[in-house]
Chains A and B, each alone.
Chain A
Amino acid sequence: MIRILFSLFLLAMLPLAQVAAAQDGPLRIEITEGVIEPLPFAAPDFVAESDGAGDVARNIARVVAADLSGTGLFREVPASAFISQITSFASPVQYADWKAINAQALITGAVSTGTDGRLEVKFRVYDVFAGQELGSGLRFTGTTEGWRRIAHKVADTVYSRITGEGGYFDSRVVFVSETGPKDDRRKRLAIMDYDGANLQYLTDSSSIVLAPRFSPTGDRVLYTSYETGFPRIFLLDVGSVTRRALEDQPGTMSFAPRFSPDGRDVVFSIEQGGNTDIWRLNIESGERQQLTYAPSIETAPSFSPDGNRIVFESDRSGTQQLYIMPANGGEAERISFGQGRYGTPVWSPRGDLIAFTKQNKGRFHIGVMRTDGSEERLLTASFLDEGPTWAPNGRVIMFTRETQGATGSASLYSVDVSGRNLKRVDTPGSGSDPSWSPLQD
């Protein structure tokens, strides 16, 4: 019997042995596990090719490094570890020196100022271990005052060449700046670079403002103001800081506006007679179209990137859930089915995900799900997280986090769509309701 079993075992093993022995062609290895860690890079100070450009050259390199490191995807190798120095933009790179310090990417650049005062910045990106340049060298020019934008553009290019995706550094954020205690909070619109620099206020604090939203081109902002005692939608031109009421119907409240992808239309909510529905308004003609007719609260509409669909929140099922309907109205399809309440949906610029706020068991979350409601993932959890907005590349989400208690305050936070790299956005004072602009031209 044992012999029989042994023979059967040999029979079973024979094909495996033959397969193992039959290695035709090259050795084939499949790797399914990797590591999730920041990619080390080196960004030596850019070379100053003209007198007086030294500070700018150094500052640009620092901003580039800060942009990349702030993503959580990169880690800067400190200059103290450098073996060789970049003293000339044109001199060849000593890859061995950068390999030795495990710098996988190397960014070199040079800065010069012309006689007209314009700044010229050129740079190159190298894949150190491959021993070759990623892409080709690039040059930006601009005013000396705009050196930060140039630095952000350099960082965007580096980011794109390494990750294969667009960057988001040369972008701005409009938000509600808050001051004062909770029972006497003063709010006004503010705009800043994505990293908190170049802060400017767009409104005064005489009235409450809510939910600013950038236009697709970043030159206009929609927001809701209580200056008339009722919520009204205003359209603000960022360049001139002028505004006008976009929707003003007596006896109604309009709020939660958002631009269509082409910037011509606005979708928003109107509360009338205790019922809230979603409307669509053409900015130029003023033509209005009611999109929902349910005897429930429908609000927080957001267009898909192609402009064909709208995701919104509704309590028509008894609890606050997310729905998707055609851009011109029609039958809506519920996409959220988890426990708790879902709100403030925002369609990703990539079009593949929808970010939302979720309240469940006394906790608030920022989460994402596929557009069909599948693969829901909660990225954050706290006493109060709400109001997500997407970075222009659809990779990062910024939102409001408010701390508990009488002394609690609201702050802006950002998190990678993978749930990593949660961090506070540097703002002067408190901030809420962020809206991320597209990349600037």
Chain B
Amino acid sequence: MHIGHYISGIGHAVLVGWVLFGGAMRSDAPEVEVMPVAMVSEEEFAALSAPQTGPAPETEVAVPETPEAEEDAPAMQSVPDDPVEQSAPPESAEAPQADDTPDAPEAPPERAVPETEQNMPDMPEAPGEDDAARLLPAPQEAPSAPAPRVAPTTVAPPDPEARIDDEMREATKPAEEPAETQSEEQEATAPEAAADEIVTEPKREEAAPVAPSRSLRPKARPSRPTQTAESPETPAAPDSPPEPDREDAVNDALAEAMNEAGQDEAPARPAGPPLSRGERDALRVAVQDCWVVDVGSRAADVTVTVGLSLDREGRVQGDIRLISASGGGDDAARTAFQAARRAVLRCQKGGFDLPAEKYEQWRDIEMTFNPENMRRK
């Protein structure tokens, strides 16, 4: 029996030492240490609950062998009970960390928070920018807390969109009046839901002109403007019920803002999403398969850029024009241009395979033929 206790004592001592040294090793990274130690200690507590029944033999066994085992052993036992006071004196810096581990669920967030907070200043900027493209309306609404007020009222918006658009115009007009008295109504009748709802509409209208630059969905409702354009001609809005008017007014204000944004951005860039890398590569490969390069000629020293327009079938419309040429004389440039033109015309066949929904993106193309790599072959 003594031998058994002896062996078990040594085993425990080894485990305790391993845990302690493991904790010491983790001291390099304070954040990481806290989490794993907490996990290990709980498991070991369950495993060590039985051996705790024999603390007396430990005292007996601990003496003969190594004093380190004695120091480590009580430290381990102290952890489940009150670890801080017992283990703190022997092992200065390492012990307190282990002591903190039982409180780990609270401690780690405290240590992690400052670190994350240090990184957070970067974080809020990043999401702010990211969200700017997607979620800018949300951050604007958040500070004034109109969302909770509006939310209960907008519970039942599923109605035909045409009605909503018509109501929009009317809702915005009355909204301007309360907008002038925002401060009075907000301050005096803050608890009243109706007044708050009315106030929120002008707020969103005011926010609307700001929204266009951030919203990314100008295309989502291109047809609405036409509908709304018709709506003012036919003033059927007054017949609509009041509640949906307010709800629709909010939605319409946003829709107007989105539409205005779409109208503002439309002329600046080609509509629709840009071609994906794969789609661009497919076009490039289609042309390069027909681009015959005479590597021994002076034309192989010339880089030419040609411009062309495609119809919706992907076929060249009109002439292919030389935009620029560099690296050779006129004859070489003319030859290089002819080779580039042949490449495009040969490989278009029935039309380049391009996504029809992105036609605006590939209607006009500038292709640069650079034979530099070919000269090495």
Contact = CB atoms under 8 A, between A and B. Distances in A.
A90 interface: no
A30 B370 contact: yes
A280 B234 CA distance: 102
Given A130-B342, A163-B294, A29 B365 contact: yes
Contact of A164 (B295, B298, B346): B298
Given A104-B346, A129-B342, A130-B338, A32 B297 contact: no
B296 A418 contact: yes
A4 interface: yes
Contacts of B336: 164
A294 interface: no
20 contacts: A3-B116, A4-B123, A20-B274, A23-B361, A26-B363, A26-B365, A28-B368, A31-B287, A31-B343, A33-B291, A34-B288, A127-B341, A129-B342, A129-B345, A129-B346, A134-B338, A163-B299, A164-B334, A418-B295, A420-B296
Interface stretch (B17-25, B125-133, B150-158, B252-260): B125-133
Given A29-B280, A102-B346, A416-B296, 17 more contacts: A1-B116, A10-B127, A11-B122, A11-B125, A11-B129, A11-B130, A26-B366, A27-B275, A29-B366, A30-B284, A34-B292, A34-B343, A127-B342, A163-B297, A164-B332, A165-B331, A418-B295
A195 B269 CA distance: 59
A3 B119 CA distance: 10
Contact of B294 (A11, A33, A73): A73
A27 B129 contact: no
Interface in A20-56: 20-37, 39
A14 interface: yes
Give the most central of A1, A14, A26: most B CB within 10 Å.
A26
Interface in B257-300: 268-270, 273-275, 280, 283-284, 287-299
Interface in A297-350: none
A395 interface: yes
A164 B304 CA distance: 15
B295 A36 contact: yes
Given A31-B287, A36-B292, A129-B346, A23 B269 contact: yes
Nearest to A23: B274
A10 B341 CA distance: 41
Contacts of B288: 31-35
Given A20-B274, A39-B292, A29 B287 contact: yes
A1 B123 CA distance: 11
A127 B338 contact: yes
Interface residues of B, number: 58
B377 interface: yes
Contacts of A20: 274
B175 to A, nearest CB: 34
A27 B367 CA distance: 8
Interface string A423-437: 000000000000000
Give the most central of B116, B268, B338: most A CB within 10 Å.
B338
Interface of B: 116, 119, 122-123, 125-127, 129-130, 268-270, 273-275, 280, 283-284, 287-299, 307, 331-332, 334-336, 338, 341-343, 345-346, 361-374, 377
Contacts, number: 146
Interface in A99-132: 102, 104, 127, 129-130
Nearest to B309: A26
Interface of A: 1, 3-4, 7-8, 10-11, 14, 20-37, 39, 73, 102, 104, 127, 129-130, 134, 162-165, 395, 416-418, 420
B135 to A, nearest CB: 13
Contacts of A73: 294
A417 B296 contact: yes
B129 A32 contact: no
Given A27-B364, A37-B292, A165 B297 contact: yes
B350 to A, nearest CB: 12
Contacts of A34: 288, 291-293, 343, 369, 371, 374
B292 A7 contact: no
Q: Which 7 interchain pairs have the tightest Cβ spacing? A: A164-B335, A34-B291, A26-B364, A418-B296, A129-B345, A34-B293, A164-B331
A35 B299 contact: no
B131 to A, nearest CB: 10
B364 A11 contact: no
A2 B338 CA distance: 54
A367 B336 CA distance: 26
Contacts of B365: 26-29
Contacts of B364: 25-27
Contacts of B366: 25-29
A134 B295 CA distance: 21
A100 to B, nearest CB: 11
A25 B309 CA distance: 12
B331 A130 contact: no
Give the most central of A34, A35, A418: most B CB within 10 Å.
A34
A147 B283 CA distance: 47
Contacts of A164: 297-299, 331-332, 334-336
A29 B331 contact: no
A37 B293 CA distance: 8
A11 B291 CA distance: 39
B137 to A, nearest CB: 19
B218 to A, nearest CB: 13
Contacts of A10: 126-127, 130
A274 B247 CA distance: 110
Contacts of A24: 268-269
Contacts of B373: 32-33
A130 B280 contact: no
Contacts of B297: 163-165, 395
Nearest to B344: A129
Given A26-B364, A416-B296, A35 B119 contact: no
B293 A35 contact: yes
Contacts of A26: 307, 363-366
A173 to B, nearest CB: 20
A7 B123 contact: yes
